[in-house]
């Protein structure tokens, strides 16, 4: 028997704002009470740092310098990362609803989702303006506009909102535009009588002078009443005064608004929709829910929606979460009344202000860059953890866990999770059903009928969780396992699931299994494959696998060894999951690289298999743990060889960076033993390591007649396999030489 801590509490973070980023780092260093499982839900793996956004706009900072990558941060904090957008929270039932995940239950919750500019009331604003938030949309629109300006002589942009945010955008956008075009016109529309409403008169006077000197068009005391698109490249800004200005693009930077769904949560809010919190940062209506950053309003200490306050809330939130989870009394937090604000002018100087004091200097900009750089460095390299958290909850944690059948998950966990997951997919009731005895029956095995005259095809696979989102992990696992059937030309019919759940209380394991089963049903839906049973145990970490069953006609079986000279080799997915996740385990893979890899892994090979069949596929296999070259070798028969084009290999983003940094999958060196069958190894070619990189839920590798290659690639890309590539040819072997030759 093994003594291992059980999970008894689910703590969820919604949103990856500044406060949560700081708390995640603190958790990585100092831990949480034993038995607490932490999960972050966010739709942005790269969270923008507001302090550096203007200088990213101007081109001074690149993307990585101005964004916090949440994936290595969550790895450091031992926090599950779920990439999705929260669309509702039922605070009374303690349930989180996401756009693309099944509902998730929490015991404690912290919300840090920021705010959005209000645009709804102005006609045309929703369709024709670019809101300042969410920031990724702003940056995407900005960079697209800059690309469109290539070769142009002039540019005209409009910015609605002359607060500090709008002022900084105007100043820094002008700097970037002047690097591209001769004439850059910037129009700022502001309903206030002075720029930077709420700042000191001295600051306002300085900004007014700078705007005049830099010839930025300032339209004060102007209320925008409509936006009208008159052509593909022109948006007219209409003001109540009758002012009308034609712009190429309009950015909307008005007062902050709360996400509309917050009003449905049952959480107490102020009249503008922001969540009301006490001095402890707990919501006034639900003590197990915390809220911080722009989304929250402190009842006793209301402050402007500014990043500096979000940053300052990090340490007290961490301490109060520790106290809440340990059953201790929470301590109040009182934010500072005034703060130092530094407005970057984009041209080398900055205005610093605090209260009524204000001054301009190049040194303030240098100071700001030092402050911002020091802050971002906190999330670049992580120190060693000081301790693993304490058992402060008073609950029994280190319970011996049995082996053998004593390690099975309780029947109530199974029944509740399966019932919930099955109810999420009512469309299954309309599928053809070959199952005679299955999950609904209390028997010891499943009974399934197969079509008359068909042969049964069986395969099995299982592995540890490659991502810590159980819903997505299940989809990856299903697609990985079913690929063996698709590669054989078979039609999937049923699967048996095998899952190991982390040790935990019944309610925790039920939630984990529910997410796994929901992901399973989601991935099985495309092929109308039935889950007919399985086996679930508990252990130290999450793992999953499937025994898959399908059928095929005897004359339609696809095998690996049916090759002949003159066939072309096609690969349907990009390579590199092995090295990417090896780097991810060391907190060295960028979140966006992993996101792209996950998108590839959750893509089924079913449609690709049908497409290959339509184009005369002769032999097929799927690329998995043994790597590309080993799978190619398995397809060879005596007298055959292959010419390979390494430059044609499709590569996932970030793979080359990881190889260059020295990362390799733990299976890479064993896979590389196949290297002896290469006639001309080229270890210095950038794609060479991909020959040995193990893949999870990789693509199909197929041999088809040479005359069908172009049409097949076009069809594959139309079906969504946009990275499909023609990577080589089957040739006659040359006596005395190794079978594989790399084209030079």
pLDDT digits (tens, 9 = 90+) for 148-173: 999 899 999 999 999 999 999 999 99
CA distances from 635 to 479, 541, 628, 631, 740 (A): 22, 35, 11, 7, 12
Q: What is the pLDDT of residue 409?
A: 62
Q: Among 556, 591, 621, where does a domain finish?
A: 556
Q: What is the pLDDT of residue 28?
A: 96
737 and 687: one domain? yes
pLDDT digits (tens, 9 = 90+) for 715-736: 999 999 999 999 999 999 999 8
pLDDT digits (tens, 9 = 90+) for 23-77: 999 999 999 999 999 999 999 999 999 899 999 999 999 999 999 999 999 999 9
Q: Residue 142: is its pLDDT beyond 80?
A: yes
pLDDT digits (tens, 9 = 90+) for 389-440: 443 333 444 445 555 544 456 667 878 888 888 888 889 888 989 888 888 7
547 and 478: one domain? yes
Burial class (CB in 10 A: 0-12, 13-18, 19+), 279: middle
Residue 133 lies in a domain: yes
Q: How much is the mean pLDDT over the chain?
A: 92
Residue 394 lies in a domain: no
Q: Where are the beta strands (DSSP E) in 486-602?
A: 491-502, 530-539, 543-552, 567-571
Positive/negative CA dihedral, 389, 394, 395, 397: positive
Q: What is the mean pLDDT of residues 197-205?
A: 90
Q: What is the pLDDT of residue 634?
A: 95
Q: What is the pLDDT of residue 257?
A: 85
Residue 144 lies in a domain: yes
CA distances from 712 to 152, 237, 271, 706 (A): 40, 49, 59, 10
Which phi-psi region, left, alpha or beta, contains residue 324 (left: φ > 0; alpha: ψ -120 to 50)? alpha
Q: What is the pLDDT of residue 724?
A: 98
110 and 139: one domain? no
Residue 221 lies in a domain: yes
Euclidean distance between CA atoms 730 and 174, whole angstroms:
57
578 and 718: one domain? yes
Is the CB of residue 86 less than 8 Å from the CB of residue 45? Answer: no
Euclidean distance between CA atoms 475 and 514, whole angstroms:
13
Q: What is the pLDDT of residue 384?
A: 58
Q: Residue 115: is its pLDDT beyond 70?
A: yes
52 and 165: one domain? no
253 and 273: one domain? no
Q: What is the pLDDT of residue 393?
A: 37
Is the CB of residue 624 less than 8 Å from the CB of residue 103? Answer: no
Residue 343 lies in a domain: no
pLDDT digits (tens, 9 = 90+) for 493-545: 999 999 999 999 999 999 999 999 999 999 999 999 999 998 899 999 999 99
Percent with pLDDT over 70 in the chain: 95
Is the CB of residue 289 less than 8 Å from the CB of residue 109? Answer: yes
Euclidean distance between CA atoms 427 and 13, whole angstroms:
32
Burial class (CB in 10 A: 0-12, 13-18, 19+), 150: exposed
> Is the N-terminal amide bond of 672 cis, ω within 30° of 0?
no
CA distances from 234 to 176, 237, 248, 309, 465 (A): 20, 10, 5, 38, 50
100 and 158: one domain? no
193 and 273: one domain? no
Positive/negative CA dihedral, 663, 665, 671, 673: positive
Expressed in percent and rounded to 5, the helix, strand and coil fractions of the chain are 35, 30, 40
Residue 393 lies in a domain: no
Query: What is the domain extent for residue 581?
Result: 567-742
| Across 367-381, 427-441, 656-670, least confident range | 427-441
Q: What is the pLDDT of residue 400?
A: 53
Q: How many domains does the chain have?
A: 4
CA nearest neighbour of 18 among 119, 143, 110, 90: 110
Euclidean distance between CA atoms 104 and 561, whole angstroms:
46
* 476 token code pair: 């990856």
CATH number of the domain enclosing 86:
3.50.50.60
Q: What is the mean pLDDT of residues 659-682?
A: 96
Helix axes 709-718, 606-614, angle to 10 degrees: 150
Q: Among 196, 231, 257, where does a domain finish?
A: 257
146 and 236: one domain? yes
Euclidean distance between CA atoms 651 and 582, whole angstroms:
16
Is the CB of residue 380 less than 8 Å from the CB of residue 66? Answer: no
- Other Cβ atoms closer than 10 A to 318: 22
Select, from the ranges 117-131, 304-318, 424-438, 667-681, the one with the highest average predicted confidence (pLDDT). 667-681
Q: What is the pLDDT of residue 406?
A: 46
Residue 226 lies in a domain: yes
- From first CA to last CA, the distance across the chain in angstroms is 57
617 or 198: which leads in pLDDT? 617
CA nearest neighbour of 685 among 659, 661, 723, 705: 659
135 and 175: one domain? yes
* 195 token code pair: 């720029």
636 and 500: one domain? no
Is the CB of residue 425 less than 8 Å from the CB of residue 509? Answer: no
Q: What is the pLDDT of residue 305?
A: 73
Euclidean distance between CA atoms 523 and 497, whole angstroms:
13
Residues acting as catalytic residues:
405
Residue 347 lies in a domain: no
Q: What is the pLDDT of residue 390?
A: 45
CATH number of the domain enclosing 676:
3.90.650.10
Q: Among 556, 585, 613, where does a domain finish?
A: 556
The pTM score is 0.91
425 and 537: one domain? yes
């Amino acid at each position: 028997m093994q003594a291992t801590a059980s999970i008894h509490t689910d703590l969820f973070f919604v949103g990856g704002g500044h406060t949560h980023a700081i708390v995640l780092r603190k958790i990585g260093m100092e831990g949480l009470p034993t038995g607490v499982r932490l999960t972050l839900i966010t739709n942005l793996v790269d969270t923008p740092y507001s302090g550096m956004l203007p200088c990213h706009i101007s081109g001074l900072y690149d993307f990585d310098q101005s964004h916090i990558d949440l994936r290595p941060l969550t790895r450091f904090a031992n926090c599950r990362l779920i990439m999705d957008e929260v669309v509702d929270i039922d605070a009374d039932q303690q349930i989180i609803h996401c756009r693309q995940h099944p509902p998730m239950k929490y015991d404690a919750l912290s919300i840090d989702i920021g705010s959005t500019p209000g645009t709804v009331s102005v006609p045309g604003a929703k369709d024709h303006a670019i809101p300042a938030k969410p920031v990724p949309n702003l940056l995407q629109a900005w960079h697209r506009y800059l690309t469109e300006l290539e070769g142009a002589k002039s540019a005209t942009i409009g910015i609605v909102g002359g607060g500090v945010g709008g002022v900084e955008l105007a100043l820094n956008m002008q700097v970037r535009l002047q690097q591209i075009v001769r004439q850059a016109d910037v129009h700022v529309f502001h309903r206030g009588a002075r720029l930077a409403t709420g700042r000191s008169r001295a600051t306002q006077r300085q900004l007014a002078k700078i705007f005049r000197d830099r010839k930025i068009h300032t339209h004060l005391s102007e209320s925008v009443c409509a936006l009208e698109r008159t052509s593909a490249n022109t948006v007219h800004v209409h003001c109540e005064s009758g002012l009308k200005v034609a712009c190429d693009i309009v950015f909307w930077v008005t007062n902050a608004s709360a996400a509309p769904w917050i009003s449905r949560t049952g959480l107490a809010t102020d009249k503008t929709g922001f969540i009301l919190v006490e001095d402890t940062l707990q919501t006034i209506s639900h003590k197990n829910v915390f809220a911080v950053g722009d989304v929250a309003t402190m009842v006793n200490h209301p402050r402007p929606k500014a990043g500096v306050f979000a940053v300052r809330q990090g340490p007290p939130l961490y301490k109060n979460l520790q106290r809440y989870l340990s059953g201790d009394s929470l301590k109040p937090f009182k934010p500072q009344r005034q703060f130092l604000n530094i407005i970057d002018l984009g041209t080398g100087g900055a205005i610093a202000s605090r209260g009524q004091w204000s001054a301009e200097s190049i040194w303030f900009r240098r100071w700001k860059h030092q402050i911002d750089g020091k802050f971002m460095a906190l999330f670049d390299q992580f120190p060693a953890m000081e301790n693993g958290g304490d058992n402060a909850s008073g609950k029994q944690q280190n319970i011996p866990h049995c082996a053998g059948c004593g390690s099975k998950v309780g029947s109530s966990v199974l029944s509740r999770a399966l019932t919930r997951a099955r109810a999420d997919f009512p469309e299954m009731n309309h599928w053809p059903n070959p199952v005679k005895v299955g999950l609904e029956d209390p028997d010891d095995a499943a009974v399934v009928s197969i079509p008359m005259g068909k042969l049964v095809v069986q395969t099995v696979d299982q592995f540890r969780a490659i991502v810590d989102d159980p819903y997505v992990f299940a989809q990856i696992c299903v697609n990985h396992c079913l690929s063996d059937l698709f590669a054989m030309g078979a039609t999937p019919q049923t699967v048996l699931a095998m899952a190991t759940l982390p040790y935990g209380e019944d309610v925790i394991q039920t939630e984990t299994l529910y997410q796994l089963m929901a992901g399973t049903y989601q991935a099985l839906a495309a092929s109308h494959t039935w889950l007919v049973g399985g086996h679930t145990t508990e252990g130290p970490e999450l793992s999953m696998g499937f025994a898959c069953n399908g059928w095929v006609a005897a004359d339609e079986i696809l095998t690996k060894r049916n090759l002949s000279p003159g066939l072309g080799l096609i690969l349907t997915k990009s390579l590199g999951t092995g090295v990417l996740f090896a780097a991810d385990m060391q907190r060295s893979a960028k979140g966006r690289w992993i996101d792209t890899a996950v998108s590839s892994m959750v893509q089924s090979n079913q449609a690709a298999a049908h497409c290959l069949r339509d184009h005369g596929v002769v032999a097929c296999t799927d690329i998995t743990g043994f790597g590309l070259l080993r799978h190619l070798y398995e397809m060879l028969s005596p007298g055959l060889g292959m010419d390979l084009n390494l430059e044609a290999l499709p590569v996932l983003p970030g793979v080359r960076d990881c190889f260059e940094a020295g990362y390799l999958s733990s299976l890479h060196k064993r896979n590389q033993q196949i290297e002896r069958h290469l006639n001309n190894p080229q270890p210095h070619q950038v794609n060479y390591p991909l020959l040995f990189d193990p893949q999870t839920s990789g693509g199909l590798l197929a041999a088809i007649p040479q005359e069908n290659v172009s049409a097949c690639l076009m069809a594959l890309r139309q079906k969504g396999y946009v990275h499909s590539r023609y990577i080589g040819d089957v040739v006659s072997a040359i006596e005395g030489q190794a079978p594989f030759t790399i084209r030079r």
